[in-house]
Amino acid sequence: MSPWCGPLVADVTWPPAAVAAGLPGTVDWTGTSDMVIAIPVAQVYAPPPDQLRIAKQAIRQRLYTHAQRRLRDLVLAEIAARVAALD
């Protein structure tokens, strides 16, 4: 979900030769309409806007242990401090 345009589908497109051979796609796209997507949408998921922080925390918990998260935060803080010192 994008706050500036609502639900958003992002997909790769096939090369024009593949579309000409029968795969779904848009060859002469003008930018004024949606393109035919190359691969049909299988699932759409977006947390409600008021639940984004909760969803983000859930992803972090699956990606990092608590110790890894602390180390990650320390590294990011150090990077930020060094970049700020360059100004």
pLDDT digits (tens, 9 = 90+) for 31-63: 788 778 777 777 777 778 898 888 888 888 888
At which residue do the structure tokens 């990011």 appear?
A: 76
CB 72 within 8 A of CB 64: yes
| Residue at 58: amino acid letter | A
Return the number of other C-beta atoms located less than 10 Å from residue 64's C-beta. Answer: 14
Report the predicted TM-score, pTM, of the whole model to 2 decimal places.
0.38
Return the number of other C-beta atoms located less than 10 Å from residue 45's C-beta. Answer: 6
What is the count of structural domains for the chain? 2
pLDDT 10s digits, 68-86 = 989 989 999 999 999 999 9
**Do residues 35 and 53 share a domain?**
no
Q: Which domain holds residue 58?
A: 48-87
